[in-house]
Every structure is written in structure tokens, then in C-alpha cells.
């Protein structure tokens, strides 16, 4: 590995800051947009007419962002190079009627979002974040980043089998966090949130709120070669793709043969079927409008899409030292070994041999090592936005990512080198 690529502490430090700034998908896209603004990108509204100007632009919708850079000289049929990712992580979400409790405890009613490892949310200090919607239709971001909530575990004295037969958690009964003492009062939580936001509770007519661990990310290990933190699946990829797009946009336009794109979607963890999910029309609409804004026709749109490639970047499974038998016996991705190429012949990942060659070329150009992941035949394989993007838009798509441990835990683990290695490979891909 090139010494210039070995463990860029600045990039990893910035990732940790990004994780702290993004306790919800809405905060994640706001933080990504702020980084792109510093690189010269400007927001365009979906409801406005678009001009075919060059430079960096982005669209925000809920917890999703699509950003792209049009270099000087780009034609209406110029293909796109896309990095796709997702902004959501498995967690707990506040219900529409949040005030509950029993036996003198005040609690918050929550719903389990995605494939959360429930036990990792127990006995953890939790804040509250997300967005509120006001009566006039505007939104406010909320981030109460201090210990406020806690899902208390039952003492071992009252569950003697917890360490022998395994901990059994009922998603409805056992996951409601406490946040105080006293009688349950309807509207109590939203009144508290309104006070924190500096608005009248009567003006809050909607909310998308979620608890989040307040413990910050940290380096781990004797040599600080690991990073532990929340929401790496998949904010690690969102951060790397944002950094890569900003870096490519800073190059001379003559060296950018494609239109580089970042597409970070919401709701991947529950199927991507929403107006901000990868199975919605957002990406296709933005790409088409970009073509048409530059004077293109449907023929130009078809030509551009035919030459477009997407890297679907999401976290994957590193070899687990305590459960090695759960992995494929010949594919053992390791942390700090560089990004992984994710393969599944049943198209749970979108990679094929052509995609493998394309990704290998990008890594070779960047001087970045890479690895391959495939599931054990006896274990069901997860999926990503990759197959959805390929099928919905007819775009060649390759699934990649970073190998981590504790995926879907409230606190995940990655190698400290890998985030920078991923960003470097993504920049090489976007630059063509």
C-alpha cells in the first residue's frame, strides 16, 4: 500500500465529526450539503426551472440528496458516474402518539426501524433527533444531543436464563425507553421538543424523531487502528462519496470526462420504497432534468444513461474472529484491507464480471488495495440499493463498500484506514 494513502487521520477525524453531526438522515443530508457548499456547489429547487449551467448543483428532499457537477464542455449526452449510498440506519423511531408509561415511569413510545440489533440499544444513553414540521409547512432540524432516554435492561436476578438461553426481547414490550418519573401526560414529549426548538407546541403538526446514542465515535485498539461509532452503515459511504465528489469538482474541467454524481437515499433499511428511497423516481428525474436543461433530447438521455455507471457503496461484513464459520471459507475481507467488491450471483448485489473489472481499474488508478466479499452459501445474503438502481434506471451498477463488524448495532466498528481508502477509490472512479 502506498504510504501516501496509509491512514489519513484528517479524513477519519472528519468522518467522526460527520457521524456526530448526522444523528438522523435529515441531518446527514444537511451536513453533506454544507460540505458541498464549501466546494462551490449550489442548491437547486425541484419546483424551479433548471438552467443548463455548468458547475456543482444539488437537490435536497427529506433525508435524500442528489448532487452533480457539470464540467465545461459536457454535452447533453455525456454519461454520468454515480456513487450511490443511503443516509438511514436501523434504529428506534418515535410513534405518532409518543407519550406512554407505567408504574410511575414516563416513557416514549417507539417503533423499531429496519433490522436493528435490539440488544445494542439497551442501557445506552440516548438523545433525540430528527425534524419537526410546523403549521406553515416548514421544517426544523432537532438535535437534543445529551442523555435524555434509556431502554433499561432487566436485571439478571429477574432473568436467570439470559446468559444461558439467550436474551429474548419483545419489540413492543421491552424497547420503550424511559425519560422520567411521574404520570403520563398527553403532548408532554412534543411540548418538550418545542421548548428545545424555540417554537410553540401548537405550531408543531408533524414530526420524524428518533433516539440516538450520545457517546461520540472513538479510535480503538492499542495502535488506534480501529474506529467505533454509530451509523457507519451507511454514513461512512455518504461521507466518503461527498469528499470524493468535492475533490473531483476541484479538478480542471478538461480532466473530467463524465458528470460525477452523489446519490444518497433514505429508507434503504426498510426496502427503499419511498419518494426519497432508491426505488423512487428521484435519481432518474434529476438525471433526466440535467440532460434536458443542457438542451438534450430523449435520444441524448438514452445515450447518457447507456454509458452511465453507478457504484453502490454500502458497508459489508468483515471476517469475524469469533464466528468465522458464518463466512464463506475462501472469502475473508479484513478491516484496513481496502474497499470490498460485493458479489452475489442471485443479484442481491448488482456486480458482474464487467463491473468487477471497472472497479478494479478505479482502485488500480488510485493505488488502493481491494477485496472481495461473497456470502456463505448456507447464509441468506443481504441486499443494497445496487440491484434497485440497476433495474429501475437500466444503469450498470457495481456493489462495493467497507468491511465492518457489528453491522446494525447501535455502535459499529471499522478500520481507521478504510474510510480514506474508499474515498480515494471513489474519487478515481468519479474522475473517470
pLDDT tens across 60-97, in order?
999 999 999 999 999 999 999 999 999 999 999 999 99
Indicate the burial class of 276 (C-beta count within 10 angstroms; 0-12, 13-18, 19 or more): buried
DSSP-assigned letters across all residues of 294-352: TT--HHHHHHHHHT-EEEEE--EEPPPTT-GGGS-TT----TTS--EEE--TTTTS---
> What's the pLDDT tens digit per position in 247-258?
999 999 999 999
* Average per-residue pLDDT for the chain: 96
Average of pLDDT values for 410-429? 97
Residues in the chain: 432
Q: Tell me: the pLDDT tens digits for 146-200?
A: 999 999 999 999 998 989 888 999 999 999 999 999 999 999 999 999 999 999 9
Q: What is the share, in percent, of the chain residues with pLDDT greater than 70?
A: 98
Question: What is the rounded distance in angstroms from the CA atom of residue 193 to the CA atom of residue 326?
Answer: 44
Q: What is the predicted pLDDT for the residue at 4?
A: 40
H helices then E strands: how many in the chain?
Answer: 9, 20
Q: How high is the pLDDT of residue 2?
A: 38
What's the pLDDT tens digit per position in 16-53? 999 999 999 999 999 999 999 999 999 999 999 999 99
Share of the chain above pLDDT 90, in %: 95
Beta-carbon contacts of 50 under 8 Å, excluding residues fewer than 6 positions away, are 44, 289, 290, 293
Handedness of CA 288, 292, 293, 296 (dihedral sign): positive
Which element (helix H / strand E) includes 15?
helix 9-21
Q: What's the confidence (pLDDT) of residue 8?
A: 63
pLDDT at 348 over 50: yes
pLDDT at 55 over 60: yes
Contact 282, 276 (CB under 8 A): yes
pLDDT in tens, 91-146: 999 999 999 999 999 999 999 999 999 999 999 999 999 999 999 999 999 999 99
Residue 278 three-state SS: coil
Query: Which pLDDT does position 7 carry in this prediction?
Result: 56
Judged against a pLDDT cut of 50, whether residue 3 lies above it is answered with no
Task: In whole angstroms, give the CA distance from residue 245 to residue 69.
Answer: 8
Q: 161-170, 224-233, 262-271, 315-324 — which is least confidently predicted?
A: 161-170
Flag whether pLDDT at 345 surpasses 90.
Answer: yes
Answer yes or no: is pLDDT of 5 > 50: no
> Can you tell me the mean pLDDT for 356-376?
97
Mean pLDDT of 207-232: 97
Q: What pLDDT, on a 0 to 100 scale, did the predictor assign at position 13?
A: 96
Q: What is the spatial distance between Cα 192 and Cα 294, in angstroms, rounded to a whole number? A: 48
**Mean predicted confidence (pLDDT) in 341-355:** 96
CA–CA distance, 418 with 204 (Å, rounded to integer)? 42
Please report which confidence band the pLDDT of residue 9 belongs to, taking 50, 70 and 90 as the band edges. Answer: confident
At 421, the pLDDT band (50, 70, 90 cuts) reads: very high
Amino acid at each position: 500500500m502506498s504510504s501516501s494513502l496509509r491512514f489519513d487521520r484528517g479524513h477519519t477525524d472528519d468522518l467522526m465529526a460527520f457521524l456526530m453531526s448526522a444523528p438522523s438522515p435529515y441531518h446527514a443530508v444537511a451536513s453533506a450539503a454544507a460540505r458541498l457548499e464549501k466546494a462551490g456547489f449550489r442548491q437547486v429547487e425541484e419546483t424551479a426551472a433548471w438552467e443548463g449551467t455548468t458547475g456543482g448543483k444539488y437537490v435536497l428532499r427529506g433525508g435524500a440528496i442528489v448532487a452533480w457537477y457539470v464540467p465545461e464542455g459536457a454535452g447533453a449526452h455525456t454519461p454520468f458516474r454515480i456513487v450511490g449510498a443511503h443516509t438511514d440506519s436501523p434504529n428506534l423511531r418515535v410513534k405518532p402518539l409518543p407519550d406512554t408509561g407505567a408504574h410511575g415511569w414516563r416513557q416514549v413510545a417507539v417503533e423499531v426501524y429496519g433490522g436493528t440489533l435490539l440488544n445494542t440499544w439497551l442501557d445506552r444513553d440516548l438523545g433525540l433527533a430528527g425534524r419537526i414540521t410546523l403549521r406553515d409547512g416548514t421544517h426544523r432540524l432537532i438535535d437534543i444531543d445529551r442523555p435524555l432516554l434509556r431502554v433499561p435492561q432487566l436485571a439478571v436476578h429477574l432473568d436467570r436464563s439470559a446468559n444461558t438461553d439467550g436474551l429474548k426481547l419483545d419489540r413492543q414490550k421491552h424497547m420503550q425507553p424511559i425519560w422520567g418519573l411521574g404520570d403520563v401526560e398527553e403532548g408532554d414529549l412534543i411540548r418538550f421538543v418545542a421548548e428545545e426548538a424555540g417554537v410553540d407546541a401548537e405550531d408543531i403538526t408533524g414530526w420524524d424523531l428518533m433516539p440516538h446514542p450520545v457517546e461520540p465515535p472513538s479510535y480503538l485498539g492499542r495502535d488506534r487502528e480501529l474506529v467505533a461509532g454509530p451509523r457507519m452503515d451507511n454514513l461512512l459511504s455518504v461521507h466518503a462519496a461527498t469528499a470524493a465528489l468535492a475533490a473531483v469538482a476541484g479538478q480542471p474541467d478538461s480532466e473530467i470526462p463524465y458528470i460525477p454524481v452523489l446519490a444518497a437515499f433514505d429508507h434503504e433499511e426498510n426496502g427503499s420504497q419511498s419518494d426519497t428511497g432508491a426505488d423512487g423516481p428521484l435519481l432518474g428525474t434529476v438525471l433526466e432534468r440535467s440532460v434536458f436543461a443542457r438542451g438534450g433530447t430523449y435520444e441524448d438521455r438514452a445515450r447518457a444513461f447507456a454509458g452511465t455507471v453507478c457504484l453502490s457503496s454500502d458497508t459489508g461484513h468483515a471476517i469475524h474472529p469469533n464466528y468465522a464459520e458464518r463466512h464463506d471459507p475462501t472469502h475473508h475481507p479484513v478491516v484496513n484491507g481496502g474497499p470490498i467488491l460485493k458479489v452475489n450471483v442471485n443479484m442481491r448485489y448488482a456486480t458482474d464480471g464487467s463491473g468487477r473489472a471497472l472497479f478494479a481499474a478505479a482502485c488500480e488508478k488510485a493505488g488502493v488495495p481491494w477485496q472481495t466479499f461473497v456470502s456463505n452459501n448456507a447464509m441468506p445474503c443481504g441486499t443494497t440499493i445496487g440491484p434497485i438502481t440497476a433495474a429501475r434506471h437500466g444503469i450498470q451498477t457495481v456493489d462495493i463498500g467497507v468491511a465492518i463488524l457489528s453491522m446494525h448495532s447501535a455502535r459499529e466498528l471499522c478500520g481507521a484506514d478504510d474510510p480514506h481508502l474508499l474515498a480515494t477509490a471513489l474519487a478515481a472512479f468519479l474522475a473517470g
